[in-house]
Amino acid sequence: MVTIRWLPVLAMLCLGAGCARLFDPKDEFDRSPVPGAPDYRDERSWAALPTRRDDADATPIGMRHRQLDAPVDVFFIHPTTYFSRDSWNQPLADERADRGTDFTLRAQASAFNDSGRVFAPYYRQMSLAGYVSASDADRDKALDLAYADVRAAFAVYLQHYSHGRPFIIAAHSQGSGHGLRLVSELMSDLAADRSLRKRLVAAYLIGAPVPRDSLQRVIPGVPMCNAPSQTGCAVFYNSVEAGEERPKRFERVRAWYPDGYRTVEQPSLLCVNPVTWRADETASETSAHRGSVHAEPRRPLPEPQVGRMTAQCQGGLLSVTLPDGEWRRFWFGGDQHVNDYQLFYMDIRANAAQRVAAMRKGANAAPAPAAPTRGKGKAARKPKR
């Protein structure tokens, strides 16, 4: 599984090493084939649905998911798992990319299956090659295409699956960029359904560098989370190993704003500590760490490693102390990007439950409408696309 774990590492190294041509898409965006759009009314367009067995059902040893009776929903937007230079955006039914996406459900989205029903669309994600392209304009077009799918999937979720239930938006990396844009549109005063504001439990937009001015300019109605039980807020962080040099990819960020993408040099980034769940620079105690889960492809999730590390927001990045020999140290500046979720898997799992409980106890929180299910158990595994 080198493809899943190490190609992103090599590409991020290239961001700071000037080797973009090794990964750059073969053609300009306008000359590259545009894959056909998915139909989210077709269940094959979804990587995870709560009515069938999929990788979002995974749980660490000794635990069970609660999707059949969960009080809220989780809309999960997966990170980049398409690495080809042949197209700016993933074609439908790319089996290698889909396998990578399924792994992210196991390693990341499953953290929420104790609190919510997990919905995760496949989408025409931008290729990893797009991130190292020298053309900002082409990259923006590829991200716009990918976001159009995310927005379409969420619309189908609202129309066919939601039934007015509260929801969590969760994402990682490229998915978090799309998630930020989705939250911006949903919470906008122009949004058709004003009730969506009250139904947002929280947005976990992890592993994407988000400039601090995004709070006012992109999601003015959604504050950064600053307490473990706060609702209607957003979580951001990017993990790096303590004591290592700041990764170069954070020196120049291409960020989305309501008037389009723009480059931000030396940005001040948003960071919420996933142990204390506060937006300050107080370091967490080792004893407060609820546990990491080191996921591996095609293997059951192992027992959590509890109380093994500390975390501290410093300069907009999450500085993490790692126990020797247990987590692979990346050789390009201690960037723990691919482990953002796994390092704090149990912290995220417990916190999602805490925020859901707080929303249900809130004065304005109506009981979650019952969700239709297929009998007493989940259906067969999802069909191939």
Half-sphere exposure (Cβ direction) of 327: Cα atoms closer than 13 Å: 26
The residue that leads in pLDDT, 364 or 200, is: 200
pLDDT band at 191 (very low <50, low <70, confident <90, very high): confident
User: What are the tens digits of pLDDT across the range 268-293?
Assistant: 999 999 999 999 999 999 999 999 99
CA distance 373 to 74: 16
At 374 the pLDDT is 46
Average pLDDT, integer, range 187-197: 78
Find tokens 């069938």 and name the residue. Answer: 52
Average pLDDT, integer, range 200-219: 97
Helices and strands: H and E segment counts in the chain? 7, 11
Average pLDDT, integer, range 348-368: 81
CA distance 3 to 128: 12
Name the most confidently modeled range: 5-19, 184-198, 295-309.
295-309
For the chain, the domains span 19-361
Average pLDDT, integer, range 219-225: 94
User: What are the tens digits of pLDDT across the range 82-98?
Assistant: 998 889 999 988 999 99
At 289 the pLDDT is 98
pLDDT band at 34 (very low <50, low <70, confident <90, very high): confident
Average pLDDT, integer, range 201-214: 98
pTM, to two decimals: 0.91
Q: In what order do the strands lie in the sheet with 116-121?
A: 46-48, 116-121, 72-77, 167-172, 200-206, 233-235
CB 242 within 8 A of CB 319: yes
How high is the mean pLDDT of the chain?
88
Query: Strand 46-48 and strand 116-121: pairing?
Result: antiparallel
Average pLDDT, integer, range 244-250: 89
338, pLDDT greater than 70? yes
CB 211 within 8 A of CB 256: no
Question: Which residue type sits at 44?
Answer: R
On the 0-12 / 13-18 / 19+ scale of CB atoms within 10 A, 147 is buried
